[in-house]
Amino acid sequence: MRNVRKIPQLKNVPVLVRTALNVPVENGKVTNSFRLRQALPTIQYLQSKGARVILAGHIGEKGTETLEPVFQAMKQFLPRLEFCPVSIGKQAREAVRNLKAGDVLMLENLRRHRGETMNDPDFAAELASLADVFVEDSFDVCHRKHASVVGVPTFLPSYAGFLVENEVKELTKALKPKSPSLAIVGGAKFSTKEPVLVKLLSTYSNVFVGGALANDFIRAEGHSIGTSLTSDTPAQNIRKLLQLKKLLIPRDVIVAEQEETVTSGRAVTVDMVPSNESMLDVGPQTITALEPFIAEAKTILWNGPLGRYENGFTEATFALAKAIVKSKAHTILGGGDTVASLDAAGLAKRFSFVSTGGGAMLDFLAEGTLPGIEALR
C-alpha cells in the first residue's frame, strides 16, 4: 500500500479523494465534526503540493440526503472549498476544469446514484474520469464493495491517505494486544459482530459484551429478557461462546417499557427483567465489576455503545469511557456514533487511538484487511 507522499506528480493534477463525510446532521446542521477534522491532513497535504482536490463521499442511508450541510461545516476548515451539486457528468467535469492548484471541490452525495452501492463499473468509470489519481481516505467504507471504494481503483493509480494509513497501522497493532488485554463490544446486530467476537476471544485476555448484543447471551443463560432486542443467531453458537471463561456479560441492566419516548429506566439484575420491559442499557454494578479488568489491562479495545444512546441511555457508556481514559492502558475506540457521542462529551480525545470506522473497524479486526485496502495494493 502506497501513501499520498508517493504520488510522483501533484502540481495541477486533479486528485479524487474518497473522504469520510458522513457525519451526524440535525436540522440541516452538522452536530459533530470529528470525522471532518480527521480528513484534513490528507486534503491539506494535497493542497500544499498544488493538486486540484476533488472530495467524494456519502451521507445517510436513504440515498437522497445532501452533503450541503457537510460542505458548510467543512468550509470553516477549508476556505478554498467549493460545492458541486452533482457527483458525475458534464457539470462535475466543468467544476473540476475550473479548479486551480490548491482548490478543493466537494461532490454531491455519491449514494444518490444506485451505481455507487451496486459497484456499477460505468459509474466507477465516470467518477474516475474526473481525476488522474485516486486517494482512499475513507476508512469507514473500506469494508464496502462500492464503486468509489473498489471500482475507481481499477481505473486510476491509487494511494492511501494519511487517515487510512494510520487506521491500518493502529488496528494491526490492536490485533496483537499487550496482555492482559480487554476488548469491549457493544451495539446491536449480533450476526454481523459474531466473527469479530470469535476473533477477539482468541486474541484478548477478556471480552466484555454489552448493548443489545448482550441480550442473546443473557437469554442463553436461561433468563427471561422481556421485550428486549435480540438477534436470530442460533442459540448453540451463543452457548458455545458463553462457555468461554474470558467472556464477560452484564450482571445488571437498565430496563424500561420500550416506547420511542422512553428516556430513562431502572436498574435490575439480569434475572429480574419484567416480561413487558426491555433492557436498554448496562447497569452500574456491571461497570463496577469491569473496573478491575480495566485497571490491570495494558490494551483496551472498544467498539459500540452499551445502551440505546439515541434515547438518552448513555450513562453506562459514559461511565465506562471515564474509567477507561483514567487507566494507563493503550486504549482504542471505534464505532461511528459511539465516537461522535464521546467526542461531544470531551472523552474521545483522551483515548490513545480513535478509529473513524464502525463496521470497517470490526471487519478489519476479524479479517486483518478490507476490500478497499486490497484495492490499493
Q: How far is the CB of 317 from ligand ADP (least distance, A)?
A: 9
Residues 6+ away with beta carbon under 8 Å from 261: none
Q: What residues numbered 307-366 form the site for Mg ion, per CB under 5 A?
A: 358
Active-site residue 60, yes or no?
A: no
Which is the catalytic residue, given 75, 145, 173, 189?
Answer: 189
Give the Cα separation of 294 and 99 in Å (integer). Answer: 51
- Letters for 145-184 (x = contact with ligand ADP by CB under 6 A, - = none) are ----------------------------------------
Q: Which residue has the cell 427471561?
A: 224
> Quick one: cell of 14?
486533479
Residue 232 φ/ψ, nearest 5 degrees: -100, 20
Active-site residue 189, yes or no?
A: yes
Which is the catalytic residue, given 35, 52, 111, 308?
Answer: 35
Strands 206-209 and 181-185: parallel
By beta-carbon proximity to ligand ADP, the closer residue of 131 and 225 is: 225
Strands 14-19 and 133-137: parallel
By the rule CB under 6 A, 302 interacts with ligand ADP: no
By the rule CB under 6 A, 122 interacts with ligand ADP: no
Contact between 73 and 30 (Cβ < 8 Å):
yes
Is the Cα dihedral 280, 249, 343, 5 positive or negative? Answer: negative
By beta-carbon proximity to ligand ADP, the closer residue of 225 and 325 is: 225
Active-site residue 298, yes or no?
A: no
Active-site residue 52, yes or no?
A: no
By the rule CB under 6 A, 200 interacts with ligand ADP: no
By beta-carbon proximity to ligand ADP, the closer residue of 57 and 358 is: 358
Contact between 313 and 283 (Cβ < 8 Å):
no
By the rule CB under 6 A, 309 interacts with ligand ADP: yes
Residues 6+ away with beta carbon under 8 Å from 303: 184, 185, 186, 187, 333, 334, 335, 338, 355, 358, 361, 362
Give the Cα separation of 33 and 70 in Å (integer). Answer: 9
* Residue 304 interacts with, from Mg ion, ligand ADP, none (CB under 5-8 Å by kind): ligand ADP
Which candidate, 65, 77, 68, 57, places its Cα nearest to that of 30? 68
By beta-carbon proximity to ligand ADP, the closer residue of 206 and 317 is: 317
Q: What residues numbered 211-230 form the site for ligand ADP, per CB under 6 A?
A: 211-212, 229
Q: How far is the CB of 303 from ligand ADP (least distance, A)?
A: 7
Which candidate, 281, 296, 222, places its Cα nearest to that of 250? 281
By beta-carbon proximity to ligand ADP, the closer residue of 55 and 212 is: 212
By the rule CB under 6 A, 280 interacts with ligand ADP: yes
Q: How far is the CB of 242 from ligand ADP (least distance, A)?
A: 18
Q: Report angle CA 351, 352, 357 to the nearest 5 degrees.
A: 80
* Residue 145 interacts with, from ligand ADP, Mg ion, none (CB under 5-8 Å by kind): none
CA 41 to chain centre: 19
By the rule CB under 6 A, 310 interacts with ligand ADP: yes
Q: How far is the CB of 266 from ligand ADP (least distance, A)?
A: 14
* Residues carrying an active site annotation: 35, 189, 336, 359
Residue ranges in contact with ligand ADP by CB under 6 A: 187-189, 192, 211-212, 229, 279-280, 304-305, 307-310, 335, 337, 358-359
Residue ranges in contact with Mg ion by CB under 5 A: 358
